[in-house]
Structure 1
Amino acid sequence: MNFLNRQTGLSAFCLFLRYKGYGSIAEKWNNKLRQILLKDFAINFKNNYKIFQYMLKFMQ
């Protein structure tokens, strides 16, 4: 659950930056954060696998 909480928190922060008019900074942040989070997700894949399956159910 840790991964998802961090991801939503950081995404909300990027949306806030965009709302305040820092769109380009928000984009750079978003890309950087996505890379970090994907790396983090790969390392903790076994921990996140059940959450991942749960998310996929809702996407279908």
Structure 2
Amino acid sequence: MPNNPTTKTATQEILRVAEELRGGSGFGSIEVSVHEGRVTFIEKRERLRVQHASISGNISKLS
């Protein structure tokens, strides 16, 4: 991996997003999009676990 400022910045941003995910629900993924050799997007998807008991209770309230 080249050791240039752009690479360092992209790496730092990816690590920052990963740390955010770790501090949140702890479940998810990070997608890094590269175009013409440069990072253009960093997308974070966070997944939330839902308790089944709370879902059924909330659904019955909606009826």
Is the shorter-chain TM-score for this pair beyond 0.5, marking a shared fold? Answer: no
- Larger strand fraction of residues: 2
TM-score range, shorter chain: 0.3 to 0.5
- Larger helix fraction of residues: 1
Bigger Rg, which one:
2
More RCO (CA 8 Å, sep 6+): 1
